[in-house]
Amino acid sequence: MQTSFTPEQLADPQIAESEKILRRCVHCGFCTATCPTYVTLGNELDSPRGRIYLIKEMLENDRPADEETVTHIDRCLSCLSCVSTCPSGVDYMHLVDHARAHIEKTYRRPLSDRLIRSLLAKILPYPARFRTALTLARLGRPLVPLFGRVPALAPLAAMLALVPKAAGRRASRSVPETPGTGSQKRGRVAILSGCAQSVLDPGINAATHRLLARFGVEVVVAPGEGCCGALVHHMGREDEALEFARRNVDAWIGEMDTNGLDAIIVTASGCGTTIKDYGRMLRLDPLYAEKAGRVSALARDISEYLSTLDLPVLEPRRLSVAYHSACSLQHGQKITTLPKNLLKAAGFTVREPAEGHLCCGSAGTYNILQPEISGQLKARKVRNIEATKADVIAAGNIGCMTQIASGTAIPILHTVELLDWAYGGPEPVKLAKG
């Protein structure tokens, strides 16, 4: 569509890129139909096309973000369903990134909002802090109904309600299995241990270690790596996000250039989408642009990497699995069939819930910051999943797992936990219990 930026504005590389993105949008409206917030709220302003328009006006007029614009951009889940749908190839992901950074720079949020956001940004990316916070939060759980009644405290209530009842066992990240005896060494990979997942569910990476080791892959954790930065990135806290990214780039480049790596394995697809984008995030940083590009090029979702290993096809087993396609996998990384094929090859019966393209409402910190919409999306997702009457749910992202688990009694596991079990690992605790 038509845009009106001055040559001076276009001299700014960020504006120039956003202008290119905007020019591609032909305002056809296709994307509205698959946007979870439009489907839920029925307002153009809560649709991708509406947001694109709001962003265009804000950037063209070079004005500070205003309340109306912020409200509707904040409601965006960054699920990227619109990107999958758009026939014109509009890169909404990077446009909304730009908008969020602009909002963060030019808009002063109400006090309660500021507090909750900085709390999240200061705790979630740091496993030690997060672990302490979880313990405290469990004590605070009785306050949920109280907080829920005060609008400004609703995010706090949502946060407490999400806290898993059982403590995640401490990760055994220091004792990765060595490659299985009898099998040849087939590769060497670094695994992202990351932040929140290692606290909420250390079993996921433990299963990955076991499974990969069994098939002859050496798994290491690069010293110095940590949170991928997605969390703060989606809040528009760009500088912090880039710091996290640089630190991880350093860690992995160190490993690549010394011992060599075949892949950087990510088991939380939300993080995977961001790491695969490091090259772009750091493109304007002359010291990091090239290195970040190398890291992104090596990043693989666990399902992608496993698919290259030609795992043996197993006898069918009785368990039926509803596969929940995390947005960051299906829309962010365009990985749609690989996880299902892996599960099928491992003998599971895979069922696909209706409306699989719609987000479950987790979306990073969205379920905390936008509890109402998130709750509606969760209910819809759970309804669709339960309709499959599957025995267990598989997903490739910790955010979705926590979100969906808080709405259903069907056990939910990471795809890799089911695969590890099928290929000789221990039965997942969640199944043994159920």
Partner 1 sequence: MSQAIEFLVPRESVLSRRAAIIADLADLLPPECLVHEPRGLAPFETDAFISYRRVPLAVALPRTTTQVAAVLKYCNRYDIPVVPRGAGTSLSGGAIPQEDAVVLCLSKMTRILEVDYANRAATLQAGVTNLSISEAVGIDGFFYAPDPSSQLACTIGGNIGMNSGGAHCLKYGVTTNNLLGVKLVLIDGTVIDLGGKHLDAAGYDLLGLVCGSEGQLGVVTEATVRLIAKPEGVRPVLFGFETCEEAGACVTDIIAAGIIPVAIEFMDKAAIEICEAFAKAGYPLDVGALLIVEVEGSEAEMDAMLASIVEIAGRHGVKTVRQCQSATEAALIWKGRKSAFGATGRIADYICMDGTVPLGKLSYVLNRTSEIVESFGLRVANVFHAGDGNMHPLILFNANDPIEAANAEAAGNEILKLCVEAGGCLTGEHGVGIEKRDLMRYQYSQADLAQQMEVRAAFDEKWLLNPSKVFPLDGRA
User: Given the rule CB under 6 A, which residues bind ligand SF4?
Assistant: 25-31, 35-37, 48-49, 51-52, 76-82, 85-86, 88, 90, 92
Q: How many residues does the chain have?
A: 434
Could you say which of partner 1, ligand SF4, none residue 50 binds, taking C-beta under 5 to 8 angstroms by partner kind? partner 1
Min dist CB 72 to partner 1, Å, is: 8
Q: Does 64 bind partner 1 (CB under 8 A)?
A: no
Least gap, CB of 25 to ligand SF4 (angstroms) = 3
Residue 29 makes contact with partner 1 by CB under 8 A? yes
Region of 334 please: left (phi>0), alpha (psi -120 to 50) or beta. left
Residue 36 binds: one of ligand SF4, partner 1, none (C-beta under 5 to 8 A by kind): ligand SF4
Stretch that binds partner 1, among 64-72, 188-196, 205-213, 285-293 (CB under 8 A): 64-72
The single residue among 8, 27, 174, 318 that binds partner 1, judged by CB under 8 A, is: 27
Q: Give the residue with the Cβ less far from partner 1, 30 or 126.
A: 30
Distance in Å, CB of 154 to partner 1, minimum: 16
**Residues 413, 346, 267, 281: is their CA dihedral positive or negative?**
negative
| Comparison of 25 and 204: residue with beta carbon closer to ligand SF4 | 25
| Partner from partner 1, ligand SF4, none binding residue 308, C-beta < 5-8 Å depending on class | none
**Smaller CB distance to ligand SF4: residue 17 or 243?**
17
Site membership for partner 1, residue 118 (CB under 8 A): no
Out of 18, 32, 384, 406, the residue judged to bind partner 1 by CB under 8 A: 32
42 is in the binding site of which of ligand SF4, partner 1, none (Cβ under 5 to 8 A by kind)?
partner 1
What is the Cα–Cα distance from 343 to 324, expressed in whole angstroms? 12
Instruction: Compute the least distance from the CB of residue 434 to partner 1, in Å.
Output: 29
Q: What's CA 94's distance to the chain center, in Å?
A: 15
In the complex, what is the shortest distance from the CB of residue 50 to ligand SF4, in angstroms, rounded to a whole number?
8
3 binds, among ligand SF4, partner 1, none (CB under 5 to 8 A by kind): partner 1
Choose from ligand SF4, partner 1, none: what does 288 bind? Cβ within 5-8 Å by kind: none
Distances (CA, A) of 209 to 154, 213, 273, 393, 420: 38, 6, 21, 21, 9
Residue 80 interface partner, choices partner 1, ligand SF4, none, CB cut-off 5-8 Å depending on type: ligand SF4
69 touches partner 1 by CB under 8 A: yes
Binding site for partner 1 (CB under 8 A): 1-3, 23-34, 38-39, 41-45, 49-50, 53-54, 57, 66, 68-69, 72, 85-90
